[in-house]
Amino acid sequence: MLRIVLFLATNVAVLLMISLVFQVLGLGAFLDSRGVHLNLESLLIYSALIGMSGSFISLVLSKWMAKTSMGVYVIDRPQNQTEAWLVSTVEKLSRKAGIGMPEVGIFQSPMPNAFATGMDKNHALVAVSTGLLEAMNPDEVEAVLGHEISHAANGDMTTMALVQGVVNTFVYFLATVIGHIVDRTLFRSQDEEGGYVGYGPGYYVTQLVAQMVLGILATMVVMWFSRWREFRADAGGARLAGRQKMISALEALRRAAEPEDLPGEFAAFGINGSIGRGIARLFMSHPPIEERIAALHRMRG
């Protein structure tokens, strides 16, 4: 609950800061001088409602979406030795991390992967794939679980939702401003007295194109944060389960077949992700495994 309050408080603080920057830079007066009469504060609030609401709803529904879209089988009562070991290991690691016991689940996938999700660190879901259980030994699986529990303990689900919401807000806000500027200055959608006659086609086309271009740039920002967050979760997994176990788990992932992202929004929360080369590296949710292993070797302690 505290993280949700902080989520909302941070959004308000960001809006106030941006509004102050607009006033200091005189953006409103600049747009007025070019015939673009916008209430920037109102547009900013509207953009935030659009940008943040989707992220917040996804955060609230994240566990339900994981269970339904990925077919996660939640272990309520362990039916075999593997399930009992998974639950006891997650309980041990979550207690060591100082968080509430997450739900533990298994999903069908031949690829070795795992993820954590949930709107609160004390009410998270940690799930592993059947492929991971088959490809890794118990020490390596323990390290993977430590990695995912570190995501929950670090509040990465909430932070990712906040980052995504902020960039969504900027994308819609800037695209709308750009659409108005192009429509009023280039297409001149005004009557003879200089009054507005509504939005011309220039606004809609420009706003759509601007959203697409800015959306690509925003995705780069979100993926950069996701990659940084993976390094931190690797370090957390090393502290919880042991550095050598974490390195061995990443080595096992590297030996596996070509990695694939988890579907949809869960791609950023898996322990493994697809490999990108060239400019595609900017859109990777996970750093290359070689870089992650090297970072663990540089860890102190």
**Which residues have a Cβ under 8 Å from the Cβ of 157 and sit 6 or more positions away?**
59, 62, 116, 117, 118, 119, 124, 151, 269
Site of tokens 């941006």: 18
In tens digits, the chain (301 residues) has pLDDT values of: 555 565 566 666 666 666 676 666 666 666 666 566 667 778 888 888 888 888 888 888 889 988 998 899 999 999 999 999 999 999 999 999 999 999 999 999 998 999 999 988 999 999 999 999 999 999 999 999 999 999 999 988 888 888 888 888 889 988 988 888 887 777 665 544 555 555 667 778 888 999 999 999 989 988 999 899 999 999 999 999 999 999 999 999 888 755 555 665 555 556 665 555 567 777 888 888 999 999 999 987 6
The active-site residue out of 103, 148, 230, 265 is 148
pLDDT of residue 192: 47
Q: What are the Cα distances from residue 71, in Å, to 24, 113, 191, 202?
A: 51, 14, 57, 45
What count of residues does the chain have? 301
Residue 298, number of CB atoms within 10 A of its CB: 7
148 is catalytic: yes
Q: Where are the domains of the chain?
A: 1-69+154-301
Q: Is the pTM of this model over 0.85?
A: no
Taking the C-alpha atoms of residue 156 and residue 120, their distance in angstroms, rounded to an integer, is: 9
Element housing 277 (H / E):
none
Taking the C-alpha atoms of residue 74 and residue 106, their distance in angstroms, rounded to an integer, is: 7
Q: At what angle do helices 40-60 and 156-181 cross, to 10 degrees?
A: 150
Taking the C-alpha atoms of residue 132 and residue 150, their distance in angstroms, rounded to an integer, is: 18
**Which residues have a Cβ under 8 Å from the Cβ of 106 and sit 6 or more positions away?**
72, 73, 75, 83, 86, 127, 128, 129, 130, 133
**Which residues have a Cβ under 8 Å from the Cβ of 101 and sit 6 or more positions away?**
90, 91, 94, 95
